Structure 1
Amino acid sequence: MPDVERADRPGRRKADLSLTIGVLVAVFAALLPLMRVVRPSSWLLGSILLCVAVLAAGFLARRYRLPAIAVTLVEAAVWVIFMTFVFLRDTALLWLFPTPETVRSIPGLITAAGEEIAVGAAPLDASLALTLLIVGGTGLLAIIVDHVVLTARMPLLAAIGLIAVSLIPSIAVPGEVDVMAFVLLAAAILFLMRTETRSREAPLEREATRTAGVPATALGIGAVAVVVALVAAPLLPQPTVRAGAGSIGSGPGIDATLQLGDDLRRPREVEVLLVRSDAPTPPYLRATTLSQFDGAVWQPDNVRTVPLDGEVGLGGVPVVDDVRLAEYVTTVEVTNLASPWLPVSYPAVSVNGLRGEWSAVPYNRTVISQAATTQGQSYEVVSNVPRPTLEQIRATEAGGPDQRDGTTTVPEGLDPIVSELAAQVTAGTENDYDALVALQSWFRSSEFRYSLDAPVEDGFDGSGIDAVAEFLRQREGYCIHYASAFALMARTLNMPSRIVVGYLPGVANGDAVDRETVYSVTSGQLHAWPEIFFEGIGWVPFEPTNGLGVPTSYSPAATDTRPGADGAEATPLPSSSASLDPGLLPDDPTQRQDASQSGSSTSTVNPVPALAIVLGILFALAIPALIRELRRRQMMSAARAGDAAAAWLAVQDIAIDLGIDVPASETPRILGTRLIQEHGAPHAEMSLLISSIERASYAPGGKHAFWQGDAMADAATAVRAQMLGSVELPRRILALLVPRSLIVRPGSVYAGSGTTARTR
């Protein structure tokens, strides 16, 4: 055995080189899905360079026969020097060797990277801290995989780790299957397993099994995996993202810090609520309100709470005597939302059916819990909606003597553009309501455009005074920009304002309960809108966001003929998404329809997606046949070069494809005779192949008969054609489309015992 090992050292070094290259490709493939979470930049190049450096050091250390622990230490030293020189050289000795100061700076960088991941929205722009985390982690992964594959010789264990790493981005940011990354990783793992297995065999064993078809089997397994990824994976339940929290949880949440752009830009939406109501239009559902603004952040209201089921609870809605209150009941079923804030219609006076302990906030008529969660709740909300006429609300001033709660505070340092535009847009109006309607119409005009991307691309996002001023200049943004700008402009006009965070009404899903249409609300319909306080009426919501909803408006008393309506045209905040085409998303304003148009519109079915799916499935089903044909052509090429074993293997493969036994107990002559007598193989061509394989097996130097190559290839082709032609059409189609020879090898236990009956 030692002599064999010494003789095979060049082969072992070659195997180690192949395994090292395979590890590099596998680590790179596991890294590819990360590119849809973090935009490719210097981190990608740094990760590849570090992996190359680490793996090259390990290969050289093994070539000089260093102990396994020494190999890993060499790789770790390369990792430390690389990371120090690239990221931490300012505090390092000679730019290469870390000092205590270098070590002390690492936790801060890791913490900064973690915060960037927690609060960011995909795709992230990698900062120095995040780049350090990704590059360093990739290098450590390369060291671990290299040790497991080349030192421990356990490629299957390494494959499990690589697959787990590649799945992390898909779990964090669910999306479509990255077919390229999947195929590359699968090929790299199969290559590692095959190369490591071959490196264990002695030279004679490798020669004996060279045509055993293991590579083709690996390709077959890979093809099956690709089919599963393309066809089955999209049908499986997808993981969900905890909105606004940047972490994975039992369902999306509600972000009350006004970082809604992060949530809306997430690539996958999930259904969070099912809503139905007896109101004329499905209501917006509020979670909380934000009244305090310091110039940088709108803060959720932190006010007194009382037990929801106590004597006080939410209480009644105070309005002046001549303003009518309309009572509506809204039923909400939470399907996938984990939040301490309960989505309720406004203004709620009671909530029934909740599990757990919940508190009411009378100030803003919201419901909150310190211990319970919304997940799985089903409840009814009773709301009393003020219904003033146009004349009544025009005669009422915004504000009042009791509004000393910070809702009129204008932060210091506010850009003059806010107050100047507010005065300019409302010039000529004669009352507060008309001024607010003028603001609302201005925001919803063609001067503004709804966009989730423009704020990020142009360097402004969020709700601070700088972002609001830039939004008014750029005139592109999403609901937070519209709501913040509207609320601040109202305050410059001495009107109390606040911002509400909650959900749009959703989209009708075609179901109805008790004659009430059911609306589906998704995580992408998390929304923000402003409210203005009118003395004797209460907080009146407005909808300035361009492309979303229906603007708030009231009708004169004389134009409303509904019994008991007293002139109120609609709820102060009409539904938006309820009137949209179910196929449209609320964050795509270019495809929105007005409520008046969508009710009678008809949609046409686009056949392209269905056709693409059908073609994709057909292509996936054809993969085994394509691989089998490729293998057959390779065998024919080898046969023409004089390889009798390749020509004979082609005969064995077609027999297996047709379901004919090819047992190990039969010699080529016995098998060939049986194929002639029972399965339609031509006598002359089969006799040539039998004599050729016997000469290659037993005659000295008879393996390659290059002078007979063309004849052997032609004979194998003729045998294949005659055997296919001798069976019925269904069996022939099955043999071509589902070739068993990709998995079943001649002489294996699955190849049969030689008792297959003749089938003609």
Structure 2
Amino acid sequence: MSSAEVDRGARRVGQRLLAFAILAALLAALLPVARVVQSGAWLIGALVLATLILAAGYNARRFRMPAVAVTLIELAVWVVFMTLVFLRETALLWVIPTLDTFRAVPILIGTAMEEITLGAAPLEPTLSLAFVVVGAMGLLTIIVDHVVVTARLPLLGSVGIIAVSLIPAIAVPGDVDVMGFVFLAITILFLIRAETRSREKPLEREAERTAGVPATAVGIAAIAIVVAVVAAPTLPAPVRAGTGIGAGAGIDATLQLGDDLRRPQDTVVIKVRTDAPSVPYLRATTLSTFEGDVWEPDRSQTVALTSDRAFGKIDLADDIDTAEYTTKIDVVNLESVWAPVPYPAEAVTGLDGLWGAVPYNRTVATASGSTQGQSYEVVYDPPRPSLEQMRALVSGGDQIRDDTMQLPADLPPVIAETAAQVTADAATDYDKLIALQRWFRGGDFTYSLEAPVEEGFDGSGADAVAQFLEVRKGYCVHFASAFALMARTLHIPSRIVVGYLPGDATSETIDGQTVYAVKSSQLHAWPEVYFAGVGWIPFEPTVSLGVPTTFSPAAALPGQGPGADTPTPGASPAPSRSVDPNRLGPDEQRNSSASGPNRTAIDPLPLFGVVVLVVFVLALPFLLRELRRRQQDVAARRGDAAAAWQSVQDAAIDVGIEVPSSETPRAFAQRLISQHGVAASDMNTVLIAIERVSYSKAGTRSYWMGDAAADAARAVRAALLASVPPSRRVLALLAPRSLVIRPGSVYAGTAPMRGR
């Protein structure tokens, strides 16, 4: 068998191996989609379509068809498959699209988008969803095949595959899938190596030439796995406003609730049942710090749910009664790091994963995990003070934090002036707050999601509150923020709670308890104020939502008839009390040791991890290029003239010099000497080495000039870097183009025109 036949056979084997590598990488990117769409026939269909497209491309290239023809053939396969599988009833002979076929496509896509928007992951694999997923897989296959095989850019194709694999993780956050990541990394490295081997001649694949490649692949894989599995958990967990599939599938703790509430879809996120006389509000987190523009979520240390300090000691006056209730919560469609609970929670059981309690506000949170699919039980015991007791209590005390009283220096005067006017006739702190609540709900204000956007004050800052008090139209964020700020101007400590309204009763009952459905549109914010002896008390200023907070006179407590101030049964938020008995007062905090249980320590490790990761990512192209250069030098010193020549070509590409396939080595060398200042002696040494090997017997090596060729190639590379401006030189080192552009590829440029 002649060497030409051997070369052709080897190229066919290399092309088949490359097609298989592309299919394996696409499979690795497709598997995470099962987190969003339940596994089914769509997975097999996507793999079959990808296989058919790659097979068509491989056979078209065997007949040396142009790149455009190969892509058109692959598109034809895609059209025929999609028509036969999904739209054959509208097609001619089941495979030829008609006008009805084209009319059906946007309907299927629109239906799929609606299912994705309204549904909860994992979605049921309907016909429309399968059409979108399989079709997208086919188009991705065509694109990757063109980029990797035609354009010879395996790294660019790998980036696209990795980007697609990340979409399901972004849509449905969860724990890191280590095995999935390792499988994807292996297939990507296999793809890059298969593309390289598909261009090599069979006699060039000797141990000396390829010995460094497996080591490089293993090294890159090890670094990637270490970064993903070890370094990633050290980074600070993002404060997720809630992500996932479906409207309202999250909790926004930044008070930017307007976009969520304005969504036209409304889905059930939680189901609740309780033995309490009324269904409680469900709190997620609190916001105390206000700098003038935005309320910041409270950030305190979490304690294990089983710890005695998890929810703090009861801080009640001796004459105030409590009542213990149990609430069962089933999460239907909610992706959040906060588990909604009634207040004040005393015990939480049934949560899967690493969950902890925040003693300061009796909330439940996790650093890694989600509420999606959780089912848990909460025991809580709201205090039951009488109206007389509330009026006798004084707001504030040494159990509150300073940030619940702070106001910005440039607070618009209208906020304090309005608070003083509304509460002018009130004698006690409680009466002042009731006066504010009654004023907001008295008929002068209107609930509106659109007015803040139209009037330009859709926010919770001081200026937005001032404009809201003038326009008197807004939603819960504006009512809660205005109430909390007005309370602080009256020297009453306040904060804002983010959570859910109690929900609506359904026809379902479990153990004799009615099940309530909490919808995404019932995401809510409300204010709380602190009273010494009873704790944090929620109020409801938002007009037309919930039930305003009131307390019964002593004569109307259990065993008596309802009094004038008895709250309406149902959804009234239960009064709440202090939650953190170990929290020190302001003076004690300044003198306490850094090891105090409730002191928030600043851990430099997450920040250091972020810096290290950023530096590593920025330096990765330089490190990969340097590793490749060293391998080329080693191979050149062993007599591989092609390695020395390619190192010169790579250096030229890095500094922006064209390296076309149509230019001979001698013409390329002469251009570097005449136009780019390369020393003729060094360039000719590398040129002689590659020409002697090229015209000698296949597989022959120039051992006798290995060191000379390697030294000359190094000198040429240095001369090329020195010939360009400093900015271009830095870019060539930090972002080397040769990592993604191969010498002689369509992206490496065309041969320069020579004068006649």
TM-score w.r.t. length of structure 2: 0.47
Larger radius of gyration: 1
